A and B are shown apart, each in its own frame.
Chain A
């Protein structure tokens, strides 16, 4: 039936919630009301909590059953019926667009893009935009990859990453525990494992809203956010024309996609001016009415193309906009639901009033081939997808196969000699490559990461210094064969416990604070070729270590103290922060800043800096791939900033010891939930593996051929033997299907702080310090 033969013009608008994270339906309705004062606007939603249902802009409300219990064929037929009567349907939620596109197909009344076009603009690749539009897509990785790989991605991007769902919601991952929490939370809410992790791009958030009809771009506007809600949603902004560098290629892309409906490109304009596309929404943005009063009524343009006739003209009212909060009366026919029992979580319904998580689950089932899925019982989830196992170096494989050939009492931490030697061989090669220059390169083995005599002996043999944080560690290093001349001393209590110092002169000693240095100057300083301070750069003010540089008074005091060093004492400076916390890129940035501080200090003290000691906490892969190749550049930069520099010391931290030991454990019990994940209780515990929550450990099981094979991920858990809720050694493993009590498992990457910080919980003994 021709649309104009069916007065009045009728438009169904879904997604009408107006809250802190609003849907666009209400804004679209306000724009249409201005353009078509006599049109019949029908609000569609899936729960009375959807606040816009009660707005007087709508003529009618069509409340549906919640998605989780809806019979989709019934709803499809109902939509078909209203379209057949000449109405148009404008969905306001990404998933509704997918639903309408999938089940109604091309129809003049359903203002949605073709299903294939939706696939081509899906996050995170946004394939259709990548080729023609002037945006880059921020790096991303499927959250279904191996944990080892995901941890590496997060480190690479300095833990400035987001875990994102395929359609909605993103959570920041600032460290490994928060990554795991975000992955698990989003997977649970949205019923999918199709999550991804994406680099955060700092910059100004902008977007382009557009509308198109059968591939023809009708109009588009640019919007720059000025203020945002705490969720990052627009609160105020400015609307303006779209840069032709975006508009023209967008016109081409929309033609290729045969796009019909509204849409929005969300991107970040970085500080360097580059633009990074975050999302392509297949519907109008919630701020769309601001574009209308700036002279671009996109919903009206779309409906005009769909046969609604010429819209009424509206006056220009300004380019800038803000949102306000206002109360409106509830429609008597749709009263508020009863107040939830405050003991329960009463917020559950308010976050997703249109029930999108439920629709996400239903659509996931349809993608699996079931085109008319029936509602599922609440809580029934699809089986978790299996993540691949991490790749394992040959040296580690040999070590495991050899070390575990015989019987071992468990739990037992074992040295992996080939792996350990390979770590120290890297240092030897780097030392050889760095030799012969004006500045002498050195590496410090961090004794605190693992004081095992074998590792100390290897470190000594490879030419490393012993980096110690106490007199106790110094004695251990000396006992292992390090000469006093190859000791570097630092830490907050470097001379604990008191005792005689050997004759001679250590390489370097760094006070952890100005107070510590003042004490050394007053009561006798360590005998060291280079003496100085650990620095705490202004960007790391929260660190408890080092002399603060964030205030001019502290800086002046530091200069005054260093000026008091005896005339013959060579000055050294020390900077140490865990690179796997900052990520290598930010660590390098901080290092560059430290060079400026060191130069400012030597100018202010009037004495050249002759030794610079930098570290630490390098994840082994980052040490190999990032730090070692960067050493020539770092040393050149240091030599330029500090012309009298003699020695450049690098402290890799855990990069040496972490992979060099593994923890062997025996399965005590296997618990298999019906259709669910497997849990294995083992004889090791969090006290044997205290770093378990903080980075992924590679876990190995003995395969059928007798070789030790790394395990992938699937949601299985490895539970420790002790009575602590936190005694979970791994929570996303794919344990062997035939795993049984008595089987052994090996937890790798347990050679650094897992070894040196292990404690005696649940063994029936107390540590010496307790008595």
Chain B
């Protein structure tokens, strides 16, 4: 089946970050997701989370070779359900993490390397029948499946910004995303680069002009 022909988003679970004002049309299928804030790990305020974060950043520094994204993160914690709120000390000991945790930890890693990094939120087209798999897996783990829809899914990533240019790192896959990926499974239906604090700034992402902090739909390149 052609993915995403019909998309019905599910309202985010209360365990996800609190919603902000929706930036795309309220009537859009994925409007509930557009209201989400990017995920962030919580800190217990004690040694447990301080040591966990210090360990994570030292690990990242060990694996970093001067360039590229932290691909070790999804290798160490494969994509899977996370229960929110999620603390640093819980995240580092988890067997798997969801995209929100991946993206937040990746942002922290980039920032510790001295690279400007901002959150990225996406709505990706998916096969409709995948929804039931996700629903079962997330519910079975006691995690919220609010990110999953029939024909689309909410996803988080991370962007680095330098010299007015953005590159988007899919922290759950360990790969750079292209705005040209607008057709087929996992293609980008909508994306917001940057949070509320970046609003007003404009960058280019592989040739696409992107206002930060605003949901956009990347232009569809013409067929040759």
Cβ contacts under 8 Å, B48 to chain A: 556
* A170-213 interface bits toward B, Cβ cutoff 8 Å, 1 = contact, 0 = none: 00000000000000000000000000000000100000000000
Asked if residues B63 and A316 are in contact (CB atoms below 8 Å), the reply is no
Cβ contacts under 8 Å, B89 to chain A: 552
Which residue of chain B has its CB nearest to the CB of A606?
A: B47
Identify the interface centre among B47, B51, B55: most chain A CB within 10 Å of its CB.
B55
Cβ contacts under 8 Å, B47 to chain A: 604
Known interface pairs A552-B55, A559-B51; A295-B68 also in contact (CB < 8 Å): no
Interface presence of B114 (CB below 8 A): no
Asked if residues A538 and B63 are in contact (CB atoms below 8 Å), the reply is yes
Give the shortest distance, in Å, between A550 (CB) and chain B (any CB): 8
Cβ contacts under 8 Å, A294 to chain B: 224
Tell me the B120-135 residues at the A interface (CB within 8 Å): none
Asked if residues B93 and A604 are in contact (CB atoms below 8 Å), the reply is no
A-side binding surface: helix, strand, loop or mixed?
A: helix
Cβ contacts under 8 Å, A589 to chain B: 65
Give the shortest distance, in Å, between B210 (CB) and chain A (any CB): 20
Partner of A600, one of B57, B66, B67: B57
Count how many pairs of residues, one from A and one from B, have CB atoms less than 8 Å apart in the complex: 61
Cβ contacts under 8 Å, A325 to chain B: none
**Roughly how many angstroms separate A555 CA and B47 CA in the complex, as a whole number?**
12
Give the shortest distance, in Å, between B118 (CB) and chain A (any CB): 21
* B91-132 interface bits toward A, Cβ cutoff 8 Å, 1 = contact, 0 = none: 011000000000000000000000000000000000000000
Asked if residues A597 and B62 are in contact (CB atoms below 8 Å), the reply is yes
Interface presence of B13 (CB below 8 A): no
Which residue of chain B has its CB nearest to the CB of A271?
A: B67
Q: How many residues of B contact A (CB 8 A)?
A: 23
* A518-538 interface bits toward B, Cβ cutoff 8 Å, 1 = contact, 0 = none: 000000000000000000011
Known interface pairs A270-B67, A537-B62; A295-B51 also in contact (CB < 8 Å): no
Interface presence of A596 (CB below 8 A): yes
Asked if residues B65 and A596 are in contact (CB atoms below 8 Å), the reply is no
Which residue of chain A has its CB nearest to the CB of B93?
A: A552
Cβ contacts under 8 Å, A552 to chain B: 51-52, 55-56, 89, 92-93
Interface presence of B206 (CB below 8 A): no
* A531-554 interface bits toward B, Cβ cutoff 8 Å, 1 = contact, 0 = none: 000000111000000000110110
Asked if residues A555 and B55 are in contact (CB atoms below 8 Å), the reply is yes
Interface presence of B23 (CB below 8 A): no
Interface presence of A231 (CB below 8 A): no
Give the shortest distance, in Å, between A585 (CB) and chain B (any CB): 10
Asked if residues A271 and B65 are in contact (CB atoms below 8 Å), the reply is yes
Asked if residues A272 and B66 are in contact (CB atoms below 8 Å), the reply is yes
Partner of A555, one of B51, B61, B65, B223: B51
Known interface pairs A555-B51, A589-B65; A600-B58 also in contact (CB < 8 Å): yes
Interface presence of B196 (CB below 8 A): no
Partner of A596, one of B58, B68, B93: B58
Cβ contacts under 8 Å, A604 to chain B: 47, 50-51, 54
Known interface pairs A537-B62, A593-B62, A596-B61; A295-B54 also in contact (CB < 8 Å): no
Which residue of chain A has its CB nearest to the CB of B60?
A: A596
**Roughly how many angstroms separate A316 CA and B224 CA in the complex, as a whole number?**
7
Give the shortest distance, in Å, between B128 (CB) and chain A (any CB): 23
Cβ contacts under 8 Å, B66 to chain A: 271-272
Interface presence of B59 (CB below 8 A): yes
Give the shortest distance, in Å, between A699 (CB) and chain B (any CB): 38
A553-B93, A596-B61, A604-B47 are known; give 15 further A-B pairs, CB within 8 A. A272-B67, A295-B224, A538-B59, A538-B62, A538-B63, A549-B62, A552-B51, A552-B52, A555-B51, A555-B55, A559-B51, A589-B65, A590-B62, A596-B57, A597-B58
B residues sitting closer than 8 Å to A (CB atoms) are 47-48, 50-52, 54-59, 61-63, 65-68, 89, 92-93, 223-224
Can you offer 7 A-B residue contacts whose CB atoms are under 8 A? A294-B224, A549-B55, A549-B59, A552-B92, A556-B48, A592-B61, A600-B57
Q: Which 9 A-B pairs have the closest CB atoms?
A: A271-B67, A593-B62, A596-B61, A600-B54, A271-B68, A552-B92, A600-B58, A555-B55, A538-B62
